[in-house]
Amino acid sequence: MAETPDTGAGVDPALLEIVVCPADHGDLDLVGAELVCRSCGLAYPVRDGIPVLLVDEARRPG
């Protein structure tokens, strides 16, 4: 069985390919321990390798 590369925050790279921002369905980039939406800028926390894709838990840009 092939090992998956470590993304730094423990998020499976295959998962990163399919998750989108729940607010506007924009693509997400892993930045440190957060997933940041490319279009609206909301930053979602990653806790124990699990993205918390709840708008109420997101950090607003700026």
> How does pLDDT run across 4-29, given as a tens digit for each residue?
444 557 889 999 999 999 999 999 99
**32: domain CATH number?**
2.20.25.10
- 58 pLDDT band, cuts 50/70/90, is very high
Q: Is residue 29 part of a domain?
A: yes
Contacts 24+ apart (CB under 8 A), 5-14: 8/32, 9/33, 9/46, 9/49, 10/46, 10/48, 10/49, 11/35, 11/46, 11/49, 11/50, 11/51, 12/49
Q: Is residue 44 part of a domain?
A: yes
The stretch 48-53 carries a mean pLDDT of: 94
Q: Is residue 62 part of a domain?
A: no
Domains held by the chain: number:
1
Q: Is residue 1 part of a domain?
A: no
Q: Is residue 4 part of a domain?
A: no
Q: Which range marks the domain in which residue 20 is found?
A: 13-57
